């Protein structure tokens, strides 16, 4: 690291002396103290839709020929955020937008001395990766297969970045699987939905869910014909339906197990069709049966959502995702109830 030899103000020589409790450069002529403050450096992490990270290959020392995130010094007259976006454009050819700060750390550099590195996450707004100033190459690398990074500060930032993104990536993956499950009837064997964690809560609390449901339908005006029904019979029917729900939530609906999935669907169809068969005298009409099924869904959701810990967005997502799956399952159940009613009326 280069050191100053002469005073900027009087051209006197500089000498190391004890000043303000620390060895510092002091002018021997005018006594001006020269403070060595860390230089501000910006580092930028950009991930693409494939969860690959943008790296540039350095053209200059330090660490010439090594890969790193776009990095450079902040200049006078610009904010630290503007410096980050300028370096991203100059080194990698990309216009970006700041998402968040990932890390702030100090690092000792053989060329520049102490530097203060502020690492940002940014998203690409425009442009394609191309080597610019101080770089000979720019490309995206899989996050699990990055080359050795040039600077320890960036290794540290990477170790923080992955946990920062984990919940978001897990929610994205789970949502994509949810779409496949609810629109194509498939449950990919390569992964599980985040809301699967709540299935155990449903199964463990089935007696409580049924108890709350029985209390509801015994007083709800939309299910008045159920008020005189045998509670043990109702409880048994609700337990079977919750069992089918649990089987569906846990099941593997991939194409490889399509036959098994079809068998499970046939069980649900028969169960609900029997519920919907044309009622006899004094029995619940179709609309009350549909209401009773909907109330069961309500109590499943209320109990599972009340047990969740709502500290993180991913916890909220699990409950919302389960709600969507309950809607899908009970819509099918209601359809089969109505179909059973019409079939028995034909």
pLDDT at 261 over 80: no
**Cα 194 from Cα 172, distance rounded (Å):** 10
Claim to verify: residue 322 and residue 193 sit in the same structural domain: yes
Strand 39-46, strand 71-73: pairing: antiparallel
Residue in the block written with tokens 């209401």: 291
In a domain, 171, yes or no: no
Claim to verify: residue 155 and residue 225 sit in the same structural domain: no
pLDDT at 239 over 80: yes
Claim to verify: residue 151 and residue 241 sit in the same structural domain: no
Claim to verify: residue 212 and residue 234 sit in the same structural domain: yes
In a domain, 341, yes or no: yes
pLDDT at 175 over 80: yes
**Cα 279 from Cα 10, distance rounded (Å):** 105
pLDDT of amino acid 115: 92
In a domain, 56, yes or no: yes
pLDDT of amino acid 258: 64
Claim to verify: residue 146 and residue 251 sit in the same structural domain: no
Claim to verify: residue 197 and residue 272 sit in the same structural domain: yes
CB 57 within 8 A of CB 66: yes
pLDDT band at 277 (very low <50, low <70, confident <90, very high): confident
Q: How far is CA 251 from the centre of its chain?
A: 24
Longest dimension (CA), the chain: 112
Q: Find the length of the chain.
A: 346
Claim to verify: residue 116 and residue 256 sit in the same structural domain: no
**Cα 142 from Cα 165, distance rounded (Å):** 14
Domain that holds residue 15: 1-36
**Cα 80 from Cα 100, distance rounded (Å):** 13
- Of 134, 166, 198, the residue that ends a domain is 166
In a domain, 321, yes or no: yes
pLDDT digits (tens, 9 = 90+) for 66-114: 999 999 999 989 999 999 999 999 999 999 999 999 999 998 877 777 8
Claim to verify: residue 51 and residue 2 sit in the same structural domain: no
In a domain, 204, yes or no: yes
What CATH number corresponds to the domain at position 103? 3.90.79.10
- Of 166, 196, 229, the residue that ends a domain is 166
**What is the count of structural domains for the chain?**
3
Strand 113-126, strand 39-46: pairing: parallel
Claim to verify: residue 208 and residue 243 sit in the same structural domain: yes
pLDDT digits (tens, 9 = 90+) for 22-49: 899 999 999 999 888 888 999 999 999 9
Average pLDDT of the chain, as a whole number = 89
Claim to verify: residue 136 and residue 264 sit in the same structural domain: no
pLDDT of amino acid 263: 78
Write the burial class of residue 311 (CB in 10 Å: 0-12 exposed, 13-18 middle, 19+ buried): exposed
In a domain, 175, yes or no: no
Claim to verify: residue 43 and residue 78 sit in the same structural domain: yes
In a domain, 315, yes or no: yes
pLDDT at 180 over 90: no
pLDDT digits (tens, 9 = 90+) for 11-20: 999 999 998 8
Q: How far is CA 48 from the centre of its chain?
A: 15
**Cα 211 from Cα 280, distance rounded (Å):** 26
Claim to verify: residue 209 and residue 103 sit in the same structural domain: no
Nearest to 221 by CA among 158, 137, 310, 284: 284
In a domain, 102, yes or no: yes
Residue partners of 133: CB distance under 8 A and separation at least 6: 90, 91
- Retrieve residue 11's tokens: 């051209």
């Amino acid at each position: 690291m280069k050191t100053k030899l002469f005073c900027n103000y009087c051209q006197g020589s500089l000498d190391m002396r004890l000043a303000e409790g620390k060895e510092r450069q002091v002018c021997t002529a005018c006594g001006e103290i020269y403070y060595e403050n860390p230089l501000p450096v910006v580092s930028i992490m950009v991930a693409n839709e494939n969860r690959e990270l943008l790296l540039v290959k350095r053209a200059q020392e330090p660490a010439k020929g090594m890969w790193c995130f776009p990095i450079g010094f902040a200049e006078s007259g610009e904010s630290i955020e503007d410096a980050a976006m300028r370096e991203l454009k100059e080194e990698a050819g990309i216009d970006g937008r700041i998402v968040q700060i990932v890390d702030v750390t100090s690092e000792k550099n053989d060329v520049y001395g102490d530097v203060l590195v502020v690492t940002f996450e940014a998203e690409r707004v425009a442009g394609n990766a191309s080597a610019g100033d101080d770089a000979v190459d720019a490309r995206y690398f899989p996050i699990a297969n990055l080359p050795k990074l040039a600077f320890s500060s960036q290794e540290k930032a990477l170790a923080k970045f992955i946990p920062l993104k984990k919940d978001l990536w897990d929610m994205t993956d789970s949502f994509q699987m949810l779409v496949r499950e609810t629109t194509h009837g498939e449950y990919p064997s390569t992964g599980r939905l985040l809301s699967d964690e709540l299935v155990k809560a449903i199964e463990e609390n089935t007696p409580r869910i049924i108890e709350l449901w029985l209390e509801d339908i015994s007083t709800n005006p939309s299910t008045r014909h159920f008020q005189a029904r045998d509670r043990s019979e109702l409880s048994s029917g609700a337990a079977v339906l919750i069992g089918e729900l649990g089987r569906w939530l846990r099941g593997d609906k991939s194409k490889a197990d399509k036959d098994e999935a079809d068998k499970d669907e046939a069980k649900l169809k028969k169960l609900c069709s029997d519920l919907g068969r044309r009622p006899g005298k004094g029995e619940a009409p179709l609309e009350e049966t549909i209401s009773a099924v909907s109330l069961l869904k309500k109590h499943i959701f209320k109990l599972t959502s009340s047990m969740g810990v709502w500290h993180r967005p991913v916890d909220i997502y699990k409950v919302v995702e389960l709600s969507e799956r309950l809607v899908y399952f009970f819509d099918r159940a209601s359809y089969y109830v109505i179909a059973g009613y019409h079939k028995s009326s034909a």
